[in-house]
Structure 1
Amino acid sequence: MNTVFLLGTGVFWTAAYVLLIRTGLREHTFGMPVVAFATNISWEFMFAFVRPPSGVTHVINIVWFCFDLAIGYTVVRHGRSEFPYLSGRLYLPALTALLALAYPGMNFASEQFDEGAGTITAFGSNLAMSAMFLAMLAARRSARGQSLGIALAKLLGTACASLAMLTDPDPAPRYGSAPHALPLRRLPRARPRLSVRPVDRTPGRPSLTSMSALAAGWQERSAGSTMVSWGTAAAAAPVPSEAAGGRRPAPAAVGGRKGEHRHAGSEDGREAG
């Protein structure tokens, strides 16, 4: 069924090409919009000679490219009269620049969004062409260069192309298969690795655990000995008593004023004298 739809696409779009060429030659104009012609012939050249597919599609692309050359003749021959605001000397250079920019643009879109294939770019170019046909119809304010047969053949060809894509026997996505494309599968999470030092079991050699325990015990013993030495010094200090003929010195200004402290000190001096 997929092959039938592919053949239908080739037949109906080929009929649209023939009608466009016939109408353009008969009415002394071009039937395909200029920008649509530039993108279309770039696509046909790319997939007929640069990256050709296999099978009957390759032959169809070559036939369509030949038809594009005939449409290009009508664009060059009768295109100047359709752009009265453009100088006659600038028409061909402008058309050449458009063709020179259309091919790298289509190639970039094909490589970035379709991995070098022509499916997405073909449908995108076809959609833009349909909009440009309507814009040209509104700009000319007549059906000159177009016909109902062209529109119907293009419609049926687009329908067959859509059905051919839907009935593709190999619908697996191609994303991630190209060398420059990023894979879409999830990457496994990196698990944290614990670095464990091996324990030295050499006889007679202390391990890290025993050394840490010894260091902690030494710190505790040194802290305890310091406290003992301070306690011993405090106990051994002489304390003056009242029996020795003196009085204990009063604490310096605890809870009192400076004047009261001086008065108490002077009284003590008199009594001692």
Structure 2
Amino acid sequence: MILFLTIVSGLAWTVAYADGIRVGFKDRSYAIPVAALGLNFAWEAIYATRSVATGITAQGVFNIAWGLADVVIVCTFLMFGRSELPVWVTRRLFLSWALLLGVTSLGVQLLFVAEFGWEDAARYAAFLQNLLMSGLFIAMFVARGGSRGQSLLIAVAKWIGTLAPTIVFGWYGNSPLILGVGILCSIFDLVYIGLLWRRQPQRP
């Protein structure tokens, strides 16, 4: 059951990232909120590298795939993200901010490792940044005044991709922290799904 849920999570997040790439280029935007994107990219770079160094597992394969997908999503942010900001934010200032965000995200992930060790750090950081992403997706919808640069497929895939490991590490792993944060993610994700669903054009 745990392997099955791991595969479900891996496939769901892969779908979310793939559609994020598609939507980003289609709408000339970026499909993952930038603070969550920075943390995700740092997490995947660290744990994909560790997967290669320590031996490939099912989760390791997905870590590598997600890391590669995130490279492309980061590119969409660097290509189109400047247009989302006020006019006084110059290209140099935008790139400096992006670099600071990337370095900060990497530092935060390494601090999690230093504090909790590799296994717990991977889980705690993943769920906390996942909750951040859930909230920021709603904020993105509000800030953009609709679903530009977003899709219902991303929202549903993210929800499923988070729910599966919530069961694995929260329920089966007997972790109240992960279970609680995972449930909060589901609440926010379902709200976001509802917003996107209502925004869809109504068929005659």
- Relative to the length of structure 2, the TM-score reads 0.78
SS in 2 for 1:79: helix
CA distance in 2, matches of 1:106, 1:79: 24
**Cα offset, 1:116, TM superposition:** 2.3
Higher fraction of helix: 2
The answer to whether residue 111 in structure 2 is matched with residue 108 in structure 1 is: yes
Q: How many residues are matched?
A: 169
Calculate the aligned-residue CA RMSD, in Å: 1.7
Which structure 1 residue ranges, 5 or more long, are not aligned? Answer: 173-273
Q: Find the partner of 1:167 among 147, 172, 179.
A: 172
Task: Say if 2:100 is the partner of 1:97.
Answer: yes
Contact 1:110 1:120 in 2 (8 A): no
Distance 1:146 1:161 in 2: 23
Taking structure 1 as reference, are residues 51 and 12 closer, same or farther at Cα in structure 2, changes over 3 Å only?
closer
- Once residues 59 and 47 of structure 2 are traced to their aligned partners in structure 1, the CA distance between those partners, rounded to angstroms, is 9
Residues 56-135 of structure 1 aligned to structure 2 (within 5 Å): 56-84=58-86, 85-112=88-115, 114-117=116-119, 118-135=122-139
Task: Show structure 2 runs of 5+ residues with no match.
Answer: 176-204
What percentage of aligned pairs have identical amino acids? 32
Could you tell me which residue of structure 2 aligns to residue 217 of structure 1? none
Whole-Å Cα distance in 1 between the matches of residues 164 and 102 of structure 2?
28
Residue 77 of structure 1 and its aligned partner are, at CA, apart by: 0.6
TM-score by length of 1: 0.59
In the TM superposition, 1:239-254 aligns within 5 A as none
Three-state SS of the structure 1 residue aligned to 2:98 is: helix
The letter of the residue matching 2:60 is H
Supply the distance in 2 between the matched residues of 1:10 and 1:16 (Cα, whole angstroms).
Answer: 10
Runs of 4+ in 1 over 6 A off after TM superposition: none
Q: Highest CA radius of gyration, 1 or 2?
A: 1
Q: Which amino acid letter does the alignment assign opposite residue 105 of structure 1?
A: V
**Greater RCO structure (CA 8 Å; 6+ sep):** 2
Amino acid at match of 2:63: N
